[in-house]
Structure 1
Amino acid sequence: MLRPKILILALALSIVLFTSATFASIDVYFSRVNDPEGTIIEELDKARKTIDVAMYCFTDRDLANAVIDAHDRGVRVRIYLDKDQKEVKYSKSRYLTKHGIPIRYSSNPYIMHHKFCVIDNKVVVTGR
């Protein structure tokens, strides 16, 4: 009777100790101190399989170029933007589309105000 309990305890302990969440880390970057844009570009440059972006607006050309570079390397890129970004003057949506990156636009009547990116289902970049 003791043996099954030890086996169950060992299994539960190994699940807790060896899950990926156990080894996860959180890094925080602030705009005027830590160059978050450079860090985001580094992460985009490391992408191997997927980049999924949901943003209210996408206006930064350096970030757009990093996404295009990843797409050109064969990384699957999916971008979801607020519906108004089709027409906004400084939006990079047309630039990204011109480089073959598919963009979906929110059909919701309200502002889609997300600001996050998931890279290879391992790295999450988010903003305020």
Structure 2
Amino acid sequence: MNEVHHIEQVLIDSLEDFSISRTERKELKELLAGIHGNVAEQAKVRQLAFRLAAKSIGEIGEMAAMDWLQSIIKLIYSQEAEVKSSAYFSPGENCLHRIQQFIREAQSTLDICVFTITDNRIVEKIIDAHARGVKVRIISDNDKSEDLGSDFDYLANKGIACRADRTDAHMHHKFAIADDNKLLNGSYNWTRSAATENNENVTITNHKKLVRQFQNEFLRLWSSLK
């Protein structure tokens, strides 16, 4: 059953007692998160809600039907108001400080996929996260992991799960995902020169669809490097 059909069944069930229960509201929010940012799918759900409300007027009355419809419309678009995104730039230490904060704020999981890691100030925060029980996984480029100053082996020796790309091409990503709900992405290499010399950028967002897409890419790469 696809997400829109699943949503339709939850909406129909909620109309049986003319209101949305706490359980139904939670289920709807989770389902609607799956189509967050997909304007066409959101429009389908909105049109479906209008049709169901119109059909139910004779049974529950216009006011109750419109109250129900208003609740559904709010749920469909409430995800938009919850999106928080910000951008940071270098030279300077704005990107570095925001990466450190991103790692420090991770509570349960931290998936890192970066071309190289040589900045000890970032490495310290990764080790701290691992020490406090955060499940850390790191993917990096195999060639860069052999560079002088690379901390890839050092992190692996600290007990952190690390896997290196083994293809002839470079694993050139620079992104991280914390707690399955927050994404850090940008051109910024996790090196000291990125802060002191280069024009770089970092973006952080909790946009559900983007987080999910990057998480899928991380999992694809992680599985391919067994």
Query: TM-score, structure 1 length as denominator?
Result: 0.86
Asked if 1:115 is matched to 2:188, the reply is no
- Aligned match of 2:82: 23
The DSSP-based 3-state class of the residue aligned with 1:48 is: coil
Asked if 1:40 is matched to 2:99, the reply is yes
The DSSP-based 3-state class of the residue aligned with 1:108 is: coil
The DSSP-based 3-state class of the residue aligned with 1:62 is: helix
Cα contact 2:145–2:151 (8 A) shared by 1: no
**Shift of the alpha carbon at 1:86?**
3.4
Partners of 1:8 and 1:62 lie apart in 2 by 51
**Shift of the alpha carbon at 1:9?**
5.8
Larger radius of gyration: 2
| Partner AA of 2:87 in structure 1 | V
Q: 1:107 to 1:8 in 2, by over 3 A?
A: farther
Partners of 1:117 and 1:14 lie apart in 2 by 29
Q: 1:33 to 1:65 in 2, by over 3 A?
A: closer
Larger relative contact order (CA 8 Å, sep ≥ 6):
1
Partners of 1:123 and 1:13 lie apart in 2 by 23
Asked if 1:74 is matched to 2:74, the reply is no
Q: For the aligned residues, what is the CA RMSD?
A: 2.0
Asked if 1:83 is matched to 2:123, the reply is no
Runs of 5+ consecutive residues of structure 2 not aligned to the other structure: 1-54, 188-226
**Shift of the alpha carbon at 1:99?**
1.1
Asked if 1:58 is matched to 2:117, the reply is yes
The DSSP-based 3-state class of the residue aligned with 1:16 is: helix
Is the deviation greater in 62-71 or in 29-38?
Answer: 29-38
Is the deviation greater in 37-46 or in 72-81?
Answer: 37-46
Runs of 5+ consecutive residues of structure 1 not aligned to the other structure: none
- Aligned match of 1:14: 75
Q: 1:30 to 1:73 in 2, by over 3 A?
A: same
Q: 1:63 to 1:34 in 2, by over 3 A?
A: closer
Bigger share in helix: 2
Query: TM-score, structure 2 length as denominator?
Result: 0.51
Deviations 1:13-63 (A, max 9, x none): 32222x3x5311111111135621112111211111011001111111111
| Partner AA of 1:13 in structure 2 | K
Number of corresponding residues:
126
